[in-house]
Amino acid sequence: MTAQYPPAGTARRRPVLPAILAGAVVATAILAVAGFVLWPDGPSGGGPEESRQPTTVAKQSIPAERDTPTVPATEPASSGGPSRTALPDGLVRSAGPGFSIAIPRGWQRTEQGNSVIWNDPASTAYIQVDRTPWTGDPYDHWLTWEREAIADGKLRNFRRIAITETSVLGVPAADIEFTWVRDSGLTRARDRGVIAGGRSYAVIVAVPAARWNENEALVNNVLDTFRPSGVG
C-alpha cells in the first residue's frame, strides 16, 4: 500500500503525557465520556484468546478481536452515499449509518450501540466508527475526552502521544493518538474526530503497540478512506 494520510496541519500538537493510570482495574466497563464510546478491552468487553496469531492484509496487518456474531465486511457503499474511489490493495469499502470506510478484506463486522466495529478474526485489534453525539471543535473535544478518561480511570495506563489537527474532505477534524493496556496487552490507537453533515463521528483504529510501526501505513489508509455522508 502506498497511499499515506498526510496530516493537514501541525499548528497545535501536544507533547507526550506521562502514563498516569497505572493499576486501574477494568473488566467489561465501557468508557463513555465527551460523547465517545471506547471499550477498554475491545468492543466486546472481553479480551481475545492469547493464542491467536496476527494475519496479514497486503503484508500490513492490523490485528483485531471478536466475541459476538459477525458478518464478513464485504458490502459496498450504499447507493447515494459517498462516491467510491480506488482503494489500496487489500481494502474493501463498507457502509454504515451516515458513512462509509475501507477496511481490510475479511475483517468481520459487529454493531454495538452507536458503534460499528470491524475485527480481524485472527488477532487483537479493531476499527470502530462511533456516532455518539458530541459538539464543538474536534481538537478541544479530544482535550475534554482525555481529561474525563483520566478522571474516570477506565483506560489502564493511559498515555497520550499527540493531538493533531487535520481535516476530512475539507471539514476540520482532529486526531488523538494514545496507548493503554488491555487484557491482551499494550495497545496503540489513532482516533479521528469530525463533525460532518450534521453528525459527529469518532473513527478509531487500534493496534497492538508492538506492531504499530509495521502497520502505520494501513492505519493511515483506513482513516483516509472515511467518508461521511453529505460531504465532498
Residue 56: pLDDT band (50, 70, 90) is: very low
- The residue that leads in pLDDT, 198 or 55, is 198
For the segment 94-135, what is each residue's pLDDT rounded down to a tens digit?
A: 999 999 999 999 999 999 999 999 998 877 889 999 999 999
Residue 24 lies in a domain: no
Residues in the chain: 232
44 vs 182, residue with greater confidence: 182
- Tally the domains of the chain: 1
Residue 91, domain CATH: 3.40.1000.10
> Is residue 25 domain-resident?
no
Query: Is the Cβ–Cβ distance between 158 and 177 less than 8 Å?
Result: no
Domain of 58, in residue numbers: 31-228
pLDDT score for 130: 98
- In-domain check, residue 76: yes
Give whichever of 48-52, 56-60, 149-153 has the largest mean pLDDT.
Answer: 149-153
Name the residue among 3, 10, 62 with its Cα closest to residue 174: 10
Where is 228: in which H helix or E strand?
strand 227-228
In this prediction the pTM is 0.69
4 belongs to a structural domain: no
